[in-house]
Structure 1
Amino acid sequence: MIEAELKARVHSPEAVMRALDSRAASRAEVYRDTYYDRPDRGLEKAGQELRVRTIHGTDETRTVLTYKGAAVDDDSGSKPEHETRVDDAEAVHAMLAGLGYVPVIAFEKRCRNYDLKARGRQMLATLVRVPELDGTFLELETLTEERELMEALADVRATLTDLGISEGDVTRELYTDAVRARRG
């Protein structure tokens, strides 16, 4: 499956939160992300990602291992995504290290997630604050087959517009790059 996703800077977080609250219930979660690569940075050079994410919610803590392939759409950066829940985060970190992967960056995201239906699709809207970065972001995504990617992205764009986000606010900047730049 392809994760058809767009990310935008949010200039009025309260207004966007109200718009989302009118559509779906939310859950507050804190993500602790660690990105891995080979010592030669081969994954990064190929546009791929390998991530361990531990999600701290109000009711549970869970960890997922995610691999994202290279982008299949240059404009949005949408990528094939494969993700699985893991029972033991420490073991996964140890396995990746044992296989020769090294952590290249780790950071925290403070999220408010909304599972909603829009334009006939299940979507996940996430309001994001990264403590190291200025501002609030909105990620809006839906899973789709590659042959339907353009239609899915059009639905995501239209839903962003419905939430008060303009096309000029959409960004391809990656949190990993922004955090890396902030850390100098």
Structure 2
Amino acid sequence: MIEAELKARVHAPEVVQQRLDEIAVARVEVYRDTYYDRPDGSLEKVDQELRVRTVHGADGSRTVLTFKDAAVDEDSGSKPEYETRVEDAEAAHAILRGLGHVEVIAFEKHCRNYEFEARGRLMLATLVRVPEIDGTFLEVETLVAEREVGSALDAIREFLKGIGIQAEDLTRETYTGAVAANRG
């Protein structure tokens, strides 16, 4: 499946949060993301990502291992995504290191997740703050077959417009890149 996703910088976070709160119940979570690559950086060179994410929320913690393949839509950066839950976070990290992968970067994301249906699609909207980056972001995604990416992105754009996010607010900026730049 492809994670059709758009990300925007949010200029009025309180207003967007209020609009999202009217649509769905928020799930407040903190993500601890650790990205891995091969020592030669070959995953990044071909636009692939390998991540261990531990999510802490009101219902406890869970860890997922994610591989994202190269983008299938250059404008949005939408990618095929393969994800599985793992029982032991430390074991997942040890397995990746044991296979020769190296940690590239780790950071926290403070998230308000909203799951809902819009434009005939199940969507996830996540209001994001990364303590090391200025500003608030909104990610809206839906999982689709590759042939549906264009129409799914159109549906996300319509949804974003409906809650006050304009096309000029969209960004391809990555959290990993922004955090790395901030750390200098």
TM-score band by shorter chain is: over 0.9
Provide the residue aligned with 1:145 in structure 2: 145
Query: Matched residue of 1:164: which SS?
Result: coil
SS in 1 for 2:113: strand
Query: Would you say 1:45 and 2:51 are equivalent positions?
Result: no
- Secondary structure at the residue paired with 1:22? helix
TM-score, normalization by structure 2: 0.99
Taking the TM superposition and a 5 Å limit, the aligned residue runs for 1:2-151 are 2-151=2-151
Residue 21 of structure 2 aligns with an amino acid whose one-letter code is D
Query: Counterpart of 1:127 in structure 2: which amino acid?
Result: L
Residue deviations 1:103-155, cap 9 Å, x none?
00000000000001100100000000000000000000000000011000000
Identity of aligned residues (%): 70
Aligned equivalents of 2:60 and 2:164: distance in 1?
32
Which portions of structure 1, spanning 4 or more consecutive aligned residues, are displaced by more than 3 angstroms? none
1:6-47: CA deviations, max 9, x gaps? 000000001001110110011100000000000000000000
SS of residue in 2 equivalent to 1:132: coil
Distance 2:101 2:36 in 1: 6
In structure 2, distance between residues paired with 1:3 and 1:166: 21
Q: Secondary structure at the match of 2:58?
A: coil
Q: Aligned Cα RMSD in Å? A: 0.4
Structure 1 residue aligned with 2:157: 157
Normalised to the residue count of structure 1, the TM-score between the two structures is 0.99
- Corresponding residue pairs, total: 184
Distance 1:113 1:11 in 2: 18
2-structure distance, mates of 1:85, 1:161: 33
* 1:134 counterpart SS class: coil
Instruction: In structure 1, list runs of 5 or more residues that go unmatched.
Output: none
Match of 1:171, SS state, is coil
1:155 maps to a residue whose letter is: A
